[in-house]
Amino acid sequence: MATVKNALSTRTFSVLATVGNNGNCKRKPPHVLTVAGSDSGAGAGIQADLKACGSLGVYCSSVVTAVTAQNTVGVQGVHPLPEHFVAAQLRSVLSDMEVDVVKTGMLPSIGILRVLCESLKEFPVQALVVDPVMVSTSGDVLAGTSTLDGFRDELLPMADIVTPNLKEAAALLGGLRLETVADMHHAARCIYNLGPKNVLVKGGDLPDTSDAIDIFFDGKQCHEFRVPRIKTRNTHGTGCTLASCIAAELAKGSSMLLAVQEAKRFVEGALLYSRDMVIGSGPQGPFDQLYKFKDQAFTSYRGEHFDPNSLFLYAVTDWRMNKKWGRGIVDAVKAAIDGGATIIQLREKEAKTGDFLGAAEACKKICQSNHVPLLINDRVDIALACDADGVHVGQSDMPVSKVRKLLGPNKIIGVSCKTLEQAERAWVDGADYIGCGGVFPTSTKENNITIGLDGLKALCSASKLPVVAIGGIKKGNAGSVMELGVPNLKGIAVVSALFDQQCVLTETRCLHSLLMDISASTMA
Ligand SMILES: Cc1ncc(COP(=O)(O)OP(=O)(O)O)c(N)n1
Ligand SMILES: Cc1ncsc1CCOP(=O)(O)O
Ligand SMILES: [Mg+2]
């Protein structure tokens, strides 16, 4: 089975365009095959997988292992399909349809599990995502005890990732008690020893926690994902959807860690959208995996208008500094772009509106021709007037939800956050990224509270949005920021390190090559 590196290579494979005999360009879409049970209520199982993969732009084929009768009250019946017919479905799809990633859900018998293992040996795929469905979120047992041995001894050693909930993790580990976050860390490592390349232990059922906590272990590092719990009864199908989204992101070419993060983001968005939905009268309702198609607010805000990698080296201008060194904004911006800045923010606190707009229009041309996004600090009016790529606002500026209304779905919005509550709000309100700082003391922004590397780390770990670090960052300390290696931290934003310097070009080049060296060494 594929390692993360192999999964990355599927990108080239999946988006490959070939010229057919008739000269038309053909495209092979990323393809996930789900091997799972049918849920008559359509909240989980095959139905959830099809909706989730489709929403993420991935073709999804399906091999049905069992038909279940279930609703919001629980599971009323399970009818496993004959093994030979599961085998026939697997052969039909795998022999012909160029599957990139297989995702497994309910495997109702050891026989069906073995049929799957044999098929995967005969038709290898790029990655295998195993959701070890044994106990549904409603508490119903969906797999017999002999299947448990099959998971442990036969399927997990083939898996690129396995995603047990607490009950499933406990079952895989012979009934181990899992009651704390420390227990989850321990369980992730023990399950890793059963053979999968990565483990995600989902802590949705962990008692006494206001946060939803998941533990991801890749054999070297444990990552803790901690987000405030969304209060809703509609959680039926979260496990199936999460695993399908991981599979879909892998099929599109993501690394494993990014696939898990994107999948979590998708599920949280769906839960948030569906939290008040009423379907059925039982204790646990389904949520809507098609939410992105239904509400503009959930569709485009985090769409393709923004590439988080553009936060890598974020240059923020300062009128006073540039004046001190005898240059104008436009020359300063050009030098920063030539030196490798990947996004520009015009932060011209003292400029008159007319001057600011004139400079913004000139910078827009330079940025556009270099494919570098241009953002405006604070001034939504200037951004609209010069058709900038977006705006950066702080906690006491115009609220993100209002900025979004004014700018529409296709502009970038960044917001400064120091606390986890602010970060959560930023996501709900439709921001694209978070500026987090001051990481170190700075004299560029008066009375700014310094949160330190620990504050940055905590915010990045909790954030659902990409983060850029800001405040007192320069050549001498940029390494200590980027080497934190925390999820979501995408780059550094700097003012004085570039603009309170004699040569903006040299300083930007220098910082850019330092960041490149750091990312090369942290990826090695
Ligand atoms: C990338 C980035 N992060 C944070 C800030 C600070 O914005 P704000 O809190 O609104 O403070 P001012 O810049 O307006 O003084 C930023 N500008 N850019
Ligand atoms: C705008 C801003 N927001 C938080 S710290 C800061 C100033 C960053 O400037 P410098 O990079 O010169 O420390
Ligand atoms: Mg501001």
Q: How confident is the model at residue 430 (pLDDT cuts 50, 70, 90)?
A: confident
Nearest CA to ligand 1 atom 7: 394
Residue 238: inside a domain, yes or no?
Answer: yes
Residue 472 has pLDDT above 90, yes or no: yes
Would you say residue 63 lies in a domain?
yes
Find the mean pLDDT for residues 285-291. Answer: 93
User: 188 in a domain, yes or no?
Assistant: yes
Residue located via tokens 């195993």: 130
User: Whose CA is closest to 372, among 399, 402, 336, 344?
Assistant: 344
Asked whether 343 and 311 are in contact (CB, 8 A), the reply is: yes
pLDDT at 314 over 70: yes
Residues 333 and 218 in one domain: no
**Residue list, ligand 2 pocket, CB within 6 Å:** 437-438, 442, 444-445, 448, 470-473, 494-497
Same domain, 63 and 34: yes
Both structure tokens of 388 = 């900038």
Q: Do the Cβ atoms of 74 and 86 come closer than 8 Å?
A: no
Domain count, the chain: 2
CA 482 to ligand 1 center in whole angstroms: 19
Q: Are 86 and 102 in contact (CB under 8 A)?
A: no
For residues 325 and 194, state if they share a domain. Answer: no
Cα–Cα dist 231/271, whole Å: 9
245 and 332 both lie in a single domain: no
Q: How far is CA 488 from CA 46, 312, 434, 443, in A?
A: 31, 12, 10, 26
Catalytic residues: 202, 235, 237-240
Q: Let me know whether 251 and 346 are in one domain.
A: no
Q: What's the whole-number average pLDDT of the chain? A: 89
Q: Tell me the CATH number at 43.
A: 3.40.1190.20
Ligand 1 contact, 435 CB (< 6 A): yes
Are 462 and 454 in contact, with CB atoms under 8 Å apart? no
86 in any annotated domain: yes
Q: How wide is the angle at C-alpha 469 spanned by C-alphas 468 and 475, nearest 5°?
A: 120
CA dist 104 and 147 (Å) reads 13
Any ligand 1 atom below 6 A from CB of 311: no
Å from CA of 391 to ligand 3 middle = 10
CA of 448 to the centre of ligand 3 (A): 12
Q: Is the shortest distance between the CB of 259 and ligand 1 below 6 Å?
A: no
Query: Do 220 and 205 contact (CB within 8 A), yes or no?
Result: no
Q: At what angle do helices 45-55 and 238-252 cross, to 10 degrees?
A: 40
* 292 inside domain: no
Q: pLDDT tens, 395-417?
A: 999 999 899 889 887 899 999 99
Those residues with Cβ within 8 angstroms of residue 71's Cβ, 6 or more apart along the chain or in another chain: 40, 41, 280, 282
Q: What gap in Å lies between CA 150 and CA 304, rounded to an integer?
A: 41
Last residue within a domain, chosen from 282, 314, 336: 282
Q: What is the mean pLDDT of residues 223-234?
A: 86
Q: Which domain holds residue 403?
A: 302-523
Helix axes 452-462, 420-429, angle to 10 degrees: 40
Instruction: Tell me whether residue 297 is in a domain.
Output: no
Tell me if 445 CB under 6 Å of ligand 1: yes
Mean predicted confidence (pLDDT) in 89-95: 98
Give, using CA atoms, the residue closest to atom 5 of ligand 2: 471
pLDDT in tens, 49-75: 999 999 999 999 999 999 999 999 988
Nearest atom in ligand 2 to 438's CA = 5
Same domain, 38 and 123: yes
- CB distance 379 to ligand 1 below 6 Å: no
Nearest ligand to the CA atom of 394: 1
Please name the residue whose Cα sits nearest to atom 10 of ligand 1.
394
294 CA distance to ligand 2 centroid (A)? 39
The stretches of 316-413 forming alpha helices (DSSP H) are: 319-324, 329-339, 353-369, 380-386, 400-407
Q: Note whether 87 and 207 are same-domain residues.
A: yes
Q: Pick from 236, 254, 282: which residue ends a domain?
A: 282
- In contact, 291 and 267? CB cutoff 8 Å: no
- What phi, psi does 324 have (nearest 5°)? -55, -40
Residue 155 shares a structural domain with residue 70: yes
CA 100 to chain centre: 20
Distance 342 CA to ligand 3 centre (A): 21
Q: Are 82 and 10 in contact (CB under 8 A)?
A: no
Out of 448, 451, 498, 511, give the residue to mutate to test ligand 2, the one with the largest number of ligand atoms within 8 Å of its CB: 448
Atom 6 (ligand 2): residue with closest C-alpha?
471
**Beta strands at 374-377 and 222-228: parallel, antiparallel or unpaired:** unpaired
- Report the nearest-CA residue for atom 9 of ligand 1: 394
- Interior angle at CA 101, CA 98 and CA 102, nearest 5: 105
SS3 content of the chain, % helix, strand, coil (to 5): 45, 20, 35
Same domain, yes or no: 220 and 359? no
Residue 268 has pLDDT above 90, yes or no: no
- 515 domain-assigned: yes
On whether the pTM is more than 0.90, the answer is: no
Looking at the CA of 345, which ligand is closest?
Answer: 1
Q: Name the token pair of 16.
A: 């490959």
Contact 303, 410 (CB under 8 A): yes
Is 492 among the domain residues?
Answer: yes
State the residue for tokens 């560029």.
444
Ligand nearest to the CA of 313: 1
Give the closest residue (by CA) to ligand 1 atom 8.
394
Which CATH number is 316's domain given?
Answer: 3.20.20.70
Residues 131 and 180 in one domain: yes
Report the atom number in ligand 1 closest to the C-alpha of 396.
10
One domain, residues 180 and 313: no
User: 315, 494 in Cβ contact below 8 A?
Assistant: yes
422 CA distance to ligand 3 middle (Å): 15
Which residue has its alpha carbon closest to ligand 2 atom 13?
Answer: 472
What is the pLDDT at residue 297?
55
What average pLDDT score do residues 24-42 get? 87
Q: What is the ipTM of this complex?
A: 0.98
384 and 485 co-located in one domain: yes
CA atoms within 13 A on the CB side of 249: 20
Confidence of residue 295 (pLDDT cuts 50, 70, 90): low
